Amino acid sequence: MTTVEHSIDVDVPVRTAYNQWTQFEEFPRFMSGVERIEQRSDRLTHWHTKIAGVSREFDAEIDEQRPDERIAWHSLSGTKQAGVVTFHRLDDTHTRVMLQLDFEPEGIVEQAGDKLGVVRGQVSGDLKKFKEYIESRGAESGAWRGEVPGGAERQGGAASGYGTGAPKPGPQAHEATPQWGDTPGGQPGSAGAPREPYADPHDPYADPRGGGMPPR
């Protein structure tokens, strides 16, 4: 299993950065390795990717989602991979986005690409494009403020579902410098709400048109 970690600071509030990341179907706008994502339920997505010249399709399940804090997921089919993205407030208008991916290279092409650092370079480039995308907009295109509890919470304290390879949630972090897996305190949303574009009327950064995805 190969692990890739990268972070980037974006010039938007933590709420704006997080809200944009919940719009999975828009990932192809800033992720070069993602060709299409289909949102099938609050927790299930179907991915079409092309990394190191290899095309893949797989289903992915969200293991945990906490507004303004973190989103963790793992694949259910196809290539073995898992990931977590965390959001760290630096100040009122700046956020650190930290992304960790765990994946299992398959075949000669992917293994060669892994050794050459192709995926690492792609992750770094995609985060830079995310920064350009959200900063150029100045506001999120939509949001889902619902919450998906972690495995231990869903099972009443039993072992979580992170045995599939998804990074385990870290402690509630209060350090000045965020570490991988940290989850600083955030503002929880309402579980079970439909995953659809949403604009908070009290949020000065919200799209005045009420969110919504721009036409492709």
pLDDT digits (tens, 9 = 90+) for 16-34: 999 999 999 999 999 887 8
Look at residue 149 and tell me whether its pLDDT is greater than 60: yes
Look at residue 210 and tell me whether its pLDDT is greater than 90: no
Domain ranges of the chain: 2-155
Instruction: Name the pTM for this structure.
Output: 0.67
Q: State mean pLDDT over 48-73.
A: 89
- Range with lowest mean pLDDT among 20-34, 71-85, 200-214: 200-214
Bridge partners (DSSP) of residue 57 are 48
Crossing angle for the helix pair 14-21 and 118-137, nearest 10 degrees? 120
Q: Residue 3's pLDDT band (boundaries 50, 70, 90)?
A: confident
Determine what percent of the chain is predicted with pLDDT higher than 70. Answer: 62
Look at residue 107 and tell me whether its pLDDT is greater than 60: no
Q: In Å, how far are 56, 65, 103, 205 from 80, measured between CA atoms?
A: 11, 20, 6, 37
The CATH number of domain 2-155, selected from 3.40.50.620, 2.70.98.10, 2.40.260.10, 3.30.530.20: 3.30.530.20
- φ, ψ for residue 3 (rounded to 5)? -115, 130
3-state secondary structure of 63: strand
